[in-house]
Amino acid sequence: MEIKKPISAKDRIILALDVDTIEDVVRYVDLLKDYVGFFKVGMPLFTSCGFEAVDTIKNHGGKVYFDGKFQDIPDTVAKTSINLMKKGIDFFSISATGGSKMMINTLNACLNYAKKQEIAPPVILAVTLLSSFGQKTLTNELCIDMNISRYVLKLAQIANEAGLSGVVAPDVDAARIKTELGEDFIIVCPAVRPTWAIVNDQIRIVSPSDAIKAGADYMIIGRPITLAHDPVAAAKLIIAEIEEALKEKEE
């Protein structure tokens, strides 16, 4: 599937728009659309505002990443994903733990719909493991007796074999995923926090610089920008950090 690699530093930022009102959506999109690549619509915003949030972002000049992390029987996820496409969403996530059949069926359904409608196919990412999970949760609660990095890589391999565009995965696994699956396989790094930000409820966090150096193509950043006293200034600081990391990586 053809996908567009981010060009500038700001294009790599996916802003987690975890707000509850359309007024807040308008505020952040108007304020930050020139400083981030995408606005993430997740479950908190969607359950509060529905597709009005998506339409508002697009109408105010922003681009949407829909983070639904869908996991259900294959037919349900396929139909749900097509409904996103009908609403003009071409960048979204499903859960890798839903299994290969779910991922393959979803991709094929979306490709068939895109061909029928003569539109570009969507960029579908597989979420590997939530950033709030650590080794203890994986082993003791999910009863998966595997090193957490090996588990994330395995899920990425399954997603790749299913034909998906990429994965949402932590920076500690990005380099190995790129080595194993190639540069064209997209990696979105979650739980990105600049060094000056509060950690909050994430366990496996990373700085924008570390994410870039590890091989991430995009990064999801939320509260360090949205809760900053000056969101634009915070976004500019992160852009500068990304630019510096890209420069160091090239050298």
Q: Tens of pLDDT along 10-34? A: 999 999 999 999 999 999 999 999 9
Residue 125, SS3 per DSSP: strand
Look up the CATH superfamily of 10-250.
Aldolase class I (3.20.20.70)
The pLDDT confidence band at residue 4, using thresholds 50, 70 and 90, is low
Q: Do residues 243 and 9 touch, judged by C-beta distance below 8 A?
A: yes
Question: What gap in Å lies between CA 14 and CA 235, rounded to an integer?
Answer: 11
First CA to last CA across the chain, in angstroms? 30
CA angle 94, 220, 204 (to 5 degrees): 90
Residue 13, SS3 per DSSP: strand
Contacts of 129 (CB under 8 A, 6+ apart): 138, 148, 151, 152, 155, 169, 170
- The model's pLDDT over 47-84, given as tens digits with 9 standing for 90+, comes to 999 999 999 999 999 999 999 999 999 999 999 999 99
What's the pLDDT at 7?
A: 78
Give the bridge partners for 14, in sequence order: 38, 220
Looking at 5, 10, 40, 69, which residue is catalytic?
69
Question: What gap in Å lies between CA 78 and CA 111, rounded to an integer?
Answer: 11
Q: What is the pTM of this model?
A: 0.91
List alpha helices for the chain, DSSP H.
Answer: 22-32, 43-49, 51-59, 74-86, 100-117, 135-136, 148-162, 171-181, 208-214, 223-226, 231-250
- The model's pLDDT over 148-192, given as tens digits with 9 standing for 90+, comes to 999 999 999 999 999 999 999 988 899 999 999 999 999 999 989
Is 69 designated active site? yes
Whether the predicted pLDDT of 2 surpasses 50:
no
Question: What gap in Å lies between CA 165 and CA 1, rounded to an integer?
Answer: 7
Buried b (16+ CB within 10 A) or exposed e, 75-91: eebbebbbebbeeebbb
Percentage, residues of the chain above pLDDT 70: 95
Contacts of 49 (CB under 8 A, 6+ apart): 20, 21, 22, 25, 56
